[in-house]
C-alpha cells in the first residue's frame, strides 16, 4: 500500500522528523478556512499517489484565504495527467495546505531494501527536488549509499558519513543523522518497502524539513498498525482494482493487459505461470486473474464476465490446479457459469488437474467440454484460437 503525502508525514511526525505545519483538506473551502485562521504564505499540494505533481502544476502557492480557495479549486478541478508511472492519470480528491518554506537547498534521502545484498539501503543525494530520476540515470555516482547491517542497526555516524559522502550542504549536518534515524525507525516499525523524502529542504534560515513524503508499506505488514486498514479505505482504487472489487475479487487479483488471450487461474503463482505459458506459445495475454480460493458458479461467472467485458479477450484459458479447491467443484462452476452468463461467448480452453480431477473431467465431458492435458498444450491451443 502506498501512502499519500499527508499520511506519510503523519508517520514522520511520530518519528520526530520535522515536517512543515499544515492541514489536510478535502474541499477548497476547508483549505481557505484554515488559511483564514492562520496568517502566512502557504503551499497547496494535490494529494495523489502519483509523483511529479510539481511538474504537473499541482503544487501551488497562496498568500491568503481567497487565493487558497482559487488555487485549491484549480488543483482539484483536473486529474493528474498520465505519466510513465500511471498511464491513466489520477483524480485529485484532497489537498495539503502547508507553510511555504523559504527553500535554500533541496536534498534527497530514502531507505529501501537492496535485493542483492538483502539489506536496507539508505540513499542520499545533494541533488534533490523534481529531477531525481534524471540524477539517478546520469549522475548515479552522486548518490551516496549505506547498506545497513540490521544486526547492528542504525547509528548517527552512518548519517554523518552519508551527509559527508553525498556532499550535503553543511546546513544539513546537525539535523540530518536524526532524520535518517527517523526513517530507519519507521521502516521497521511499520514494515515499509520504501520511505523517501524528496526534497529534504534546507531553508534560508537554516532549518531542515521533510517537504515531501513517499511511503510504500508492505501489504503483509499492515497488521502492525490497525489504523492502516482505515487509511487503506481512504486511498483511491485504480480502474482495474475497482473492477476486481465489483466482481467480488480482491483488488490485487486482477490486472488488464493488451493481449487477446483471457486467463483465469487459481493462485497468483499459477496465474502468472499461465501468462508466461501464453507468452511462450507466441501469444499475448489479456489479463492476470487469480480466482482465489473456492470457485463456485457465481465466482467463475463473475471472473468470466470481468474478463470478456473489460479486456480484448478473444478466447479464455482457464487453468485450475485443484488443491483445497476441488476440480469437480470448479467444473460445476464453469458449466453453470457459462449456462447462465449474459455476456458474450468466447471459445474456452480448460486445463484442470489435481484433487477430484476425474470427477471434474466427467462433469465437463457431460457438458461437451474437453479439457487439455497440460498448461503448455492449453496455452498453445488458446493462442491458436485467438488468432
Ligand atoms: P512532487 O513534484 O510530486 O515530488 O511534489 P513536491 O512536494 O516534491 O514538490 C515539488 C516542488 O515544489 C519541490 O521540489 C519544490 O521545488 C516546490 N515546493 C514544494 N513545497 C515548497 C515550499 O514550501 N516552498 C517553496 N519555495 N517551494 C516548494
Ligand atoms: Mn517530491
DSSP conformation letters of 346-365 = --EEEEEEETTHHHHHHHHH
Taking CA 73 as the corner, what is the angle to CA 69 and CA 79, rounded to the nearest 5 degrees? 155
- Ligand 1 pocket: which of 6, 22, 54 to mutate (most atoms <8 Å of CB)? 54
* Cell numbers that stand for 346 in this block: 468466447
The pLDDT tens digits for 161-217 are 999 999 999 999 999 999 999 999 999 999 999 999 999 999 999 999 999 999 999
Task: Establish whether 223 is a catalytic residue.
Answer: no
> How many Å lie between the centroid of ligand 2 and the Cα of residue 230?
25
pTM for the predicted model, two decimal places: 0.80
User: Residue 184 catalytic?
Assistant: no
User: In angstroms, what CA-CA distances link 310 with 243, 260, 303, 314, 343?
Assistant: 9, 11, 11, 12, 11
The residues facing 114 across adjacent strands are 119
Identify the band that residue 348 occupies on the pLDDT scale cut at 50, 70 and 90.
Answer: very high
C-alpha–C-alpha distance, residues 157 and 7, integer Å: 29
Q: Which atom of ligand 1 is nearest to the CA of 212?
A: 7
Residues above pLDDT 90, as percent of the chain: 79
Contact 382, 261 (CB under 8 A): yes
CA 151, 154, 160, 161 torsion: positive or negative? positive
d(C-alpha 224, C-alpha 11), whole Å: 13
* pLDDT value, residue 36: 95
What pLDDT was estimated at residue 295? Answer: 73
Residues within a 6 A CB radius of ligand 1: 43, 45, 51-54, 59, 100-101, 103, 106, 129-130, 198-199, 211-212
Cell readout for 91 is 483524480
**What per-residue confidence (pLDDT) applies to 46?**
98
pLDDT digits (tens, 9 = 90+) for 18-46: 999 999 999 999 999 999 999 899 999 99
Cα–Cα distance for residue pair 39/231, rounded to 1 Å: 30
Handedness of CA 310, 320, 369, 278 (dihedral sign): positive
The rounded radius of gyration (Å) of the Cα atoms in the chain is: 26
pLDDT value of position 156:
97
Say how many C-beta atoms besides its own lie within 10 A of residue 341's C-beta: 17
Residue 130 Cα to ligand 2 middle (Å): 6
Q: What is the pLDDT of residues 283-324, one digit of tens each?
A: 999 999 999 877 777 888 899 999 999 999 999 999 999 888
- Select the more confidently predicted residue: 307 or 220: 307
Q: Using one digit for the tens of pLDDT, what is the confidence trace for 72-120? A: 999 999 999 988 777 778 999 999 999 999 999 999 999 999 999 999 9
The pLDDT of 333-358, averaged and rounded, is 92
Of ligand 1's atoms, which has the minimum distance to the CA of residue 214? 4
Amino acid at each position: 500500500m502506498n501512502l499519500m503525502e499527508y499520511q506519510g508525514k503523519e508517520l514522520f511526525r511520530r518519528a520526530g522528523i520535522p515536517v512543515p505545519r499544515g492541514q489536510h483538506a478535502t474541499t477548497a473551502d476547508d483549505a481557505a478556512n484554515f488559511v483564514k485562521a492562520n496568517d502566512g504564505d502557504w503551499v497547496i499540494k494535490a494529494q495523489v499517489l502519483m509523483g511529479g505533481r510539481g511538474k504537473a502544476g499541482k503544487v501551488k502557492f497562496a498568500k491568503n484565504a481567497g487565493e487558497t480557495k482559487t488555487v485549491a479549486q484549480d488543483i482539484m478541478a483536473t486529474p493528474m495527467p498520465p505519466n510513465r508511472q500511471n498511464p491513466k492519470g489520477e483524480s485529485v480528491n484532497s489537498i495539503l495546505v502547508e507553510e511555504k518554506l523559504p527553500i535554500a537547498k533541496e536534498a534527497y534521502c530514502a531507505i529501501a531494501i537492496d535485493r542483492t545484498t538483502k539489506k536496507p539501503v539508505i540513499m542520499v543525494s545533494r541533488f534533490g527536488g523534481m529531477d531525481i530520476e534524471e540524477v539517478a540515470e546520469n549522475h548515479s555516482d552522486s548518490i551516496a549509499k549505506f547498506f545497513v547491517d540490521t544486526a547492528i542497526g542504525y547509528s548517527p555516524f552512518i548519517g554523518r558519513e552519508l551527509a559527508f559522502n553525498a556532499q550535503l550542504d553543511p546546513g544539513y549536518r546537525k539535523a540530518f543523522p536524526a532524520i535518517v534515524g527517523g526513517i530507519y525507525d519507521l521502516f521497521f516499525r511499520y514494515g515499509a518497502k520504501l520511505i523517501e523524502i524528496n526534497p529534504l529542504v534546507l531553508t534560508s534560515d537554516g532549518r531542515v524539513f521533510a517537504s515531501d513524503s513517499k511511503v510504500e508499506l508492505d501489504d503483509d505488514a499492515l497488521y502492525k498498525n490497525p489504523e492502516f486498514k482505515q487509511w487503506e479505505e481512504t486511498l483511491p482504487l485504480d480502474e482495474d482494482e475497482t473492477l476486481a472489487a465489483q466482481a467480488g475479487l480482491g483488488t490485487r487479483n486482477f490486472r488488464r493487459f493488451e493481449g487477446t488471450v483471457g486467463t483465469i487461474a487459481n493462485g497468483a503463482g499459477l496465474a502468472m505461470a499461465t501468462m508466461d505459458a501464453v507468452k511462450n506459445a507466441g501469444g499475448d495475454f489479456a489479463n492476470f486473474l487469480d480466482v482465489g480460493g473456492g470457485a463456485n458458479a457465481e465466482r467463475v461467472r463473475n471472473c468470466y464476465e470481468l474478463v470478456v467485458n473489460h479486456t480484448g479477450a478473444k478466447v479464455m484459458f482457464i487453468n485450475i490446479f485443484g488443491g483445497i479447491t476441488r476440480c469437480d467443484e470448479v467444473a460445476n462452476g464453469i458449466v453453470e457459469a457459462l449456462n447462465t452468463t449474459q455476456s458474450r461467448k468466447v471459445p474456452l480452453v480448460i486445463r484442470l488437474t489435481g484433487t477430484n480431477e476425474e470427477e471434474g473431467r466427467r462433469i465437463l465431458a457431460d457438458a461437451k467440454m474437453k479439457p487439455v492435458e497440460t498448461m503448455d498444450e492449453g496455452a498453445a491451443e488458446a493462442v491458436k484460437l485467438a488468432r
